[in-house]
Amino acid sequence: MSNPTDHDPTENARFLVEIPDRFAIARWSRDADVATICRCILGTLKYEPHTADITVLRQALEGVIKHEAGRER
């Protein structure tokens, strides 16, 4: 079946990454902010084998997370 991973119970996160046998599934609440969605997608990328170079995608998602963190200050 699937195993929930990347969830730190001490963190007030509202997302979950599941890793079934063939693909990763990212879930987030309907009211999730942009940074939470990006973190969720990043969580799936480290478990999925990719034939293409995903460096640019990873950097773009990390950039959005940093930008959103800067806006919250």
Could you read off the pLDDT of 21-66 as tens digits, one per residue? 666 677 888 888 999 999 988 888 877 667 788 889 999 999 999 9
List, in order, residues 6 or more apart from 2 with CB less than 8 Å away. Answer: 18, 19, 20, 25
The Cα-based distances of 52 to 23, 30, 35, 37 in angstroms read 16, 30, 24, 22
**Residue 17 pLDDT exceeds 70:** no
- pLDDT for 34 equals 92
User: What does the alpha-carbon distance between residue 72 and residue 47 come to, in Å, rounded to a whole number?
Assistant: 29
